Structure 1
Amino acid sequence: MVRTVPTYSAAQVRAAEAPLLTAGVPLMRRAAAALAEITREQLADAATARILVLAGGGDNGGDALYAAADLAGAATVDVLPVGRRVHEAALAAALGAGARRIGPDEAEAAASASSVLIDGILGIGAASDPALRGLARDVVERLLPVVRERGPRVIAVDVPSGLHPDTGDADEVVLPATTTVTFGAVKAGLLAGRGPELAGDIVLVDIGLGPTLSGVTPVGEGVVSRLVRAPGPHTP
Structure 2
Amino acid sequence: MDGYGGDQVRAAERPHLDAGEPLMQRAAAGLATIVGRLLDDPAERPGDGPGSVLLLVGSGDNGGDALFAGAHLAADGRHVAVLRVGSRVHEAGLAAALGAGAVLLDGPPEQVVTDAALGADLVLDAVLGIGVHGASALRSPAREVVQAIRELARDQRAPFVVAVDVPSGIDVDTGAVADDHVLQADVTVTFGGVKAGLLRGPGATLAGRIELVDVGIADDLATVEPLVRTLGP
Which of residues 154, 166, 174 is equivalent to 1:167?
174
* Counterpart residue identity of residue 201, structure 2: G
Contact 1:46–1:75 (CA under 8 A) maintained in structure 2: no
- Deviation, 1:66, is 0.4
Aligned to 1:234: none
- Deviation, 1:223, is 6.6
Deviations 1:177-234 (A, max 9, x none): 0000000111111011112210000011111112222321111223787xxxxxxxxx
Deviations 1:94-115 (A, max 9, x none): 0111100013122110101111
Gaps of 5+ in 1: 226-236
Alignment TM-score, normalising by the size of structure 2: 0.90
Q: How does 1:44-193 map to 2 (within 5 A)?
A: 44=45, 47-73=49-75, 74-102=77-105, 103=107, 104=109, 105-148=111-154, 149-170=156-177, 171-193=179-201
Change in CA separation of 1:66 and 1:84 when aligned onto 2, cut-off 3 Å: same
Aligned to 2:224: 216
The separation in 2 between residues aligned to 1:42 and 1:127, in whole angstroms, is 30
Change in CA separation of 1:83 and 1:223 when aligned onto 2, cut-off 3 Å: farther
Contact 1:201–1:224 (CA under 8 A) maintained in structure 2: no
Alpha-carbon RMSD across the aligned residues, in angstroms, is: 1.6
More strand by share: 1
Change in CA separation of 1:22 and 1:194 when aligned onto 2, cut-off 3 Å: same
Secondary structure at 1:131's aligned position in 2?
coil
Change in CA separation of 1:129 and 1:220 when aligned onto 2, cut-off 3 Å: closer
* Counterpart residue identity of residue 82, structure 2: V
Secondary structure at 2:82's aligned position in 1?
strand
The separation in 1 between residues aligned to 2:122 and 2:113, in whole angstroms, is 13
Displaced runs of 4+ in structure 1, greater than 3 A? 222-225
Contact 1:36–1:67 (CA under 8 A) maintained in structure 2: yes
Contact 1:121–1:161 (CA under 8 A) maintained in structure 2: yes
Which of residues 13, 16, 24 is equivalent to 1:17?
13
Give the length in aligned residue pairs: 221
Percent identity, please.
52
Aligned to 2:207: 199
Q: How does 1:32-43 map to 2 (within 5 A)?
A: 32-43=28-39
- Deviation, 1:47, is 2.6
Change in CA separation of 1:141 and 1:113 when aligned onto 2, cut-off 3 Å: same
Alignment TM-score, normalising by the size of structure 1: 0.89
